[in-house]
Amino acid sequence: GAVVSQHPSRVICKSGTSVKIECRSLDFQATTMFWYRQFPKKSLMLMATSNEGSKATYEQGVEKDKFLINHASLTLSTLTVTSAHPEDSSFYICSAGASGRYPYEQYFGPGTRLTVT
């Protein structure tokens, strides 16, 4: 149980284009989903928290207009990187938490490696 999928696993895009990343909880309903980014040899940095049906809460310093998050259902959240630039190249990882499971456990998707050329 507690399987989270993420798609695509790897994407290369040109500077100025937008990229959408999907995160799905496969065997449970995710009341809350989280989006992280991780630079090489660095720890996870929380970008935003989203609850199903409401606006995402962004961490300080994260541009909400650049990183659009939608959590339309209890099993799907999407992150869109708009007008991507090379500095947005990173490993993006989603996680999901569920009510009814042990409090505050988060289960991570396999991640999406974004390269902006």
Partner 1 sequence: QKEVEQNSGPLSVPEGAIASLNCTYSDRGSQSFFWYRQYSGKSPELIMSIYSNGDKEDGRFTAQLNKASQYVSLLIRDSQPSDSATYLCAVNSFTGGGNKLTFGTGTQLKVEL
Interacting residues toward partner 1 by CB under 8 A: 2, 32, 34, 42-44, 46, 49, 51, 57, 93, 97, 102-111
Distance in Å, CB of 98 to partner 1, minimum: 12
Distance in Å, CB of 70 to partner 1, minimum: 17
Task: Measure the CA–CA gap between 51 and 114, rounded to whole angstroms.
Answer: 24
Of 14 and 102, nearer to partner 1 (C-beta) is 102
Three-state secondary structure call for residue 96: strand
**Single-letter code of the amino acid located at 13:** C
Give, rounded to a whole angstrom, the gap between the first and last alpha carbons of the chain: 37
Distance in Å, CB of 16 to partner 1, minimum: 27
Of 12 and 17, nearer to partner 1 (C-beta) is 12
In sign, the C-alpha dihedral spanning 57, 59, 64, 69 is: negative
Closest CA to 81 of 5, 6, 13: 13
Of 61 and 103, nearer to partner 1 (C-beta) is 103
Q: Residue 14 — φ and ψ, nearest 5°?
A: -85, 150
Of 53 and 110, nearer to partner 1 (C-beta) is 110
Distance in Å, CB of 95 to partner 1, minimum: 8
